[in-house]
A and B are shown apart, each in its own frame.
Chain A
């Protein structure tokens, strides 16, 4: 069975899929899980969003996020859909989590948060909520991002790990099929941070990607590392134009 699977994978190599309509992971979910995402009163990620709204206005650090950015409903509209983006001072691309940490360090004199800290996921999901329905539009035309984008693209199509599988082999060529009992989605990061039923918690895109790295028995990349952000950038560009689903639910 495994031999057949591997032969199958080798036979179909990287094929461009640009002419196919893209499908969000939402479309691969069961009706019950879709209902959970559609209804904010049932969606457990709203626990983090509510906490994020509180933190947005929290002045205990001296400066609240709202002190500079004001009402998130206006100032953060569409922001999550535009990341990863270039940071001038750092001279590198940053994702939304890294941006939140840079804001904390530069303007609030607060220590950075970890990728899966509840405080980070709360702020990130609150900011992501303001981008619901906004088309994903990373600044792909920014020439300073070209190197990272190229690197991310290479990572996406490079075979990695003991199973020697690339992202593209599952998420381009076998998308819509099944791995065990689970649907293989196209791998568009449209709804992060997500509440994942399997985790029983909210989690970041980095956590999800690390799950895939572990699945193919490859070396883990650190969240917010330059490689991880390069891959996230490529995925965002690949999903450009698809609507951002705000903090969503995934099985």
Chain B
């Protein structure tokens, strides 16, 4: 399953200067507490983890729970002193896993 994501961040930054990264992913975040039209409980289907790693070094990570809205939006800041690759990974129920990669150039 391919997920829809939006990652908003500068692709080129100045060395040591803080910048913001905003990552959103399309996901229903079904809580597991709701019932469908047939009265049966809808099985839980949420994202449970998000992580952002810069050249193997963790930048930001979060655990996600049923109370988080659909299409979760996460925003965080970082600084970089060298160019490298940012890897964004979302994991969730039913074996969900999605990875996005963005190259960052430090000037």
Contacts and interface: CB of A to CB of B under 8 A. Distances in A.
A74 B27 CA distance: 31
A41 B71 contact: no
B100 to A, nearest CB: 12
Interface residues of A, number: 10
B69 A200 contact: yes
A200 B70 contact: yes
Among B70, B71, B73, residue most surrounded by chain A Cβ atoms (within 10 Å): B71
Nearest to A44: B71
Interface residues of B, number: 14
B8 interface: yes
Interface in B11-65: 22, 24-26, 28-29
Interface stretch (A23-31, A46-54, A76-84): A46-54
Nearest to B69: A200
B42 to A, nearest CB: 13
Contact of B4 (A41, A42, A47, A200): A47
A79 B5 CA distance: 27
A75 interface: no
A41 B73 CA distance: 10
B70 A41 contact: no
B31 to A, nearest CB: 11
A98 to B, nearest CB: 25
A6 B21 CA distance: 51
Given A48-B26, A51-B26, 7 more contacts: A41-B8, A44-B26, A44-B73, A47-B4, A47-B25, A47-B71, A200-B28
Interface of A: 41-42, 44, 46-48, 50-51, 200-201
10 contacts: A41-B22, A42-B22, A46-B6, A47-B24, A48-B26, A50-B4, A51-B4, A51-B26, A200-B69, A201-B70
Interface of B: 4-6, 8, 22, 24-26, 28-29, 69-71, 73
